[in-house]
Chains A and B, each alone.
Chain A
């Protein structure tokens, strides 16, 4: 499987196939900011960076009006990449953002021409299905809410490598379904808690049905979404001995292993640093996806 060479063949890589980041923060030009349901998708032209792998993330801040008069936002904000593609002048990066606090409010308001400070790509990307499970017939992608973003890029990388993928997405209600625009609707199975689209209920209901067949032995599951959803997916996969990777988030000041803030408890005891040991982690490695402070 050649998924890893699909993105940025010339970029230097490190452990787990991660693309290494240029050292230091740089500025990228915001090229687009559009509504996507109740969210925004903004794009930036990164002239000096490599193409990231799906699951990797960037620390983002606005060049202007960051740590401004009110002193917040102060720290960068960690965002997975929803799409990335090399163009003539550099790599265009897409990010999905919901305005839920001072940092995301500022990012959601970025206008074309403004500068986006970024450091990245950072962290551990998704592993190819064949590495998760030697008998994998393809990939099962399970996304919830705004957490569908990294799965969109992963879906495209898998398709480019000719790996079949089934996509299950769940949303709370229509205002929280903005991430759906990142996918080709014809290939997605939907659920919604309010029943406005697809199955009324949770996306984990759809996953349970899939895993009930003969599928479990040949499955490789990739999940990203709210902590409760990730924990449900993880438990379901552990109970059925299905290989699974979850893309998590945790409060993070730096993104490159310095601040030790993004501690996630390990099944074996102790903690991992989600920024350098994740954000994509094997579901069996962690004690829980319900980490206090995450999902904020």
Chain B
């Protein structure tokens, strides 16, 4: 009998498959699929779209470009802002059958603090994911690209809440493990990776940049091998749990991320192609675990480290 349950940063999850932030909208999905969205919710915890202190409209279109085995997005974090999120989205997200992790992004320590102070105390919120792929306006540096920036941000936010803080790492650095170590030193309860890889698309007709904002981020199976290496590298450097993601399309893919050191996994772009991809990944992962002769996911991780 296999057990897919995991403990992630203090959260008991019935299986290890989450969604990547911004790849599944649990409210919009109910507009398309109705109640079945909740009755068959594909993820064991739900990670919200990233919210920012003030509302954002997002980037001008085009926002998408298909690549071989992947896609580039340049969405620009459209969201209702902190107040809009609390007033409109928090209640329906709190009614989901799984724990809610709210993703936040600020442009300064003060903005991050305001966001975490706004969402973390709410009963509906089980944890907070820090999206650090943005510049700190005070230093001019991208927080997630600098270990010192990451450490000081996380340690400040650590004093704001006791709920789990998960740092979403950017892959656009030479040494993601150094940033992960800094996040752990700052007091993070976990890290999630990878975010999208910086990418561009050229319109073959005009030979000018295709995306409205000029550039975007690559996701899908095209990035999976890079994500696996970054998860392995981070797993060798930190003791806190890892949410591994990057092009996961099947249970076999998910098992590889576990073998690379992930405690949980997230399905992102695959959900665009099939809104129930997460459910399929979970089912296939259970079968793959059985085939591997393991009782639980921890045994896979131990085996990979040996």
Task: Report how far A221 CA is from B212 CA in the complex, Å.
Answer: 31
Do A23 and B61 touch (CB < 8 A)? no
Judge whether A188 is part of the interface by a CB distance below 8 angstroms.
no
Instruction: Identify which of residues 262-294 in chain B touch chain A, using a CB-to-CB cut-off of 8 Å.
Output: 269, 271-276, 279
* B40: chain A residues within 8 A (beta carbon): 23-24
Taken residue by residue from 225 to 256, chain A's Cβ proximity to chain B (1 for < 8 Å, 0 otherwise) reads as 00000000000000000000000001111111
User: Residue on B with the closest CB to A119?
Assistant: B275
Instruction: Identify which of residues 248-275 in chain A touch chain B, using a CB-to-CB cut-off of 8 Å.
Output: 250-265, 269-271, 273, 275
Do A258 and B273 touch (CB < 8 A)? no
Judge whether A89 is part of the interface by a CB distance below 8 angstroms.
no
CB distance from B248 to the nearest CB of A (A): 14
Question: Which of the residues A24, A76, A254, A275 comes within 8 Å of B276, measured between beta carbons?
Answer: A24
User: Residue on B with the closest CB to A101?
Assistant: B66
Give the B interface residue count (CB, 8 A): 45
Task: Report how far A71 CA is from B68 CA in the complex, Å.
Answer: 4
Contacts A74-B67, A259-B23, A271-B78: A24 and B279 contacting too (C-beta < 8 A)? yes
Taken residue by residue from 262 to 296, chain A's Cβ proximity to chain B (1 for < 8 Å, 0 otherwise) reads as 11110001110101100000000000000111100
Judge whether A75 is part of the interface by a CB distance below 8 angstroms.
yes
Do B33 and A253 touch (CB < 8 A)? no
* A72: chain B residues within 8 A (beta carbon): 66-69
Task: Report how far A242 CA is from B85 CA in the complex, Å.
Answer: 36
* A71: chain B residues within 8 A (beta carbon): 67-70, 221-222
CB distance from A287 to the nearest CB of B (A): 11
Do B271 and A22 touch (CB < 8 A)? no
Question: Which of the residues A22, A25, A293 comes within 8 Å of B273, measured between beta carbons?
Answer: A25
* A212: chain B residues within 8 A (beta carbon): none
Question: Which of the residues A70, A73, A254, A271 comes within 8 Å of B271, measured between beta carbons?
Answer: A254
Taken residue by residue from 109 to 147, chain A's Cβ proximity to chain B (1 for < 8 Å, 0 otherwise) reads as 000000001010011000000000000000000000000
User: Residue on A with the closest CB to B32?
Assistant: A256
Task: Report how far A73 CA is from B63 CA in the complex, Å.
Answer: 18
Task: Report how far A119 CA is from B275 CA in the complex, Å.
Answer: 8
Judge whether A164 is part of the interface by a CB distance below 8 angstroms.
no
Task: Report how far A74 CA is from B219 CA in the complex, Å.
Answer: 12
Task: Report how far A12 CA is from B67 CA in the complex, Å.
Answer: 36
Judge whether B73 is part of the interface by a CB distance below 8 angstroms.
yes
Q: Which of A13-21, A29-37, A150-158 contacts B (4 or more CB under 8 A)?
A: A13-21
User: Residue on A with the closest CB to B205?
Assistant: A296
Do A276 and B31 touch (CB < 8 A)? yes
Task: Report how far A293 CA is from B203 CA in the complex, Å.
Answer: 10
Task: Report how far A250 CA is from B28 CA in the complex, Å.
Answer: 18
Do B60 and A258 touch (CB < 8 A)? no
Taken residue by residue from 31 to 75, chain A's Cβ proximity to chain B (1 for < 8 Å, 0 otherwise) reads as 000000000000000000000000000000100000100111111
Instruction: Identify which of residues 54-84 in chain B touch chain A, using a CB-to-CB cut-off of 8 Å.
Output: 57-71, 73, 75, 78
Instruction: Identify which of residues 19-38 in chain B touch chain A, using a CB-to-CB cut-off of 8 Å.
Output: 22-25, 27-29, 31-34, 36-37
Contacts A258-B271, A263-B61, A263-B63: A21 and B32 contacting too (C-beta < 8 A)? yes
Judge whether B220 is part of the interface by a CB distance below 8 angstroms.
yes
Do B68 and A292 touch (CB < 8 A)? no
* B222: chain A residues within 8 A (beta carbon): 71
Do A256 and B61 touch (CB < 8 A)? no
Do B274 and A119 touch (CB < 8 A)? yes
Task: Report how far A123 CA is from B67 CA in the complex, Å.
Answer: 25
Task: Report how far A102 CA is from B90 CA in the complex, Å.
Answer: 40
CB distance from A171 to the nearest CB of B (A): 23
Do B274 and A25 touch (CB < 8 A)? yes
Contacts A20-B34, A293-B61: A253 and B71 contacting too (C-beta < 8 A)? yes
Instruction: Identify which of residues 206-221 in chain B touch chain A, using a CB-to-CB cut-off of 8 Å.
Output: 210, 212, 220-221
Do B63 and A23 touch (CB < 8 A)? no
Do A258 and B33 touch (CB < 8 A)? no
* A275: chain B residues within 8 A (beta carbon): 32
Tell which of B27, B29, B33 has the most Cβ of chain A within 10 Å: B33
Q: Provide 15 A-B residue pairs closer than 8 Å at the C-beta atoms, listed in order of the A residue.
A: A23-B36, A23-B275, A24-B276, A25-B274, A61-B273, A71-B67, A73-B66, A123-B32, A251-B62, A251-B65, A253-B73, A258-B24, A258-B29, A260-B63, A276-B28
Besides A122-B32, A270-B78, 8 new A-B residue pairs in contact (Cβ under 8 A), listed by A number: A21-B33, A23-B33, A23-B34, A23-B37, A24-B40, A263-B59, A263-B60, A293-B62
* A-B residue pairs, 5 tightest by C-beta: A257-B28, A293-B62, A71-B68, A24-B276, A71-B69
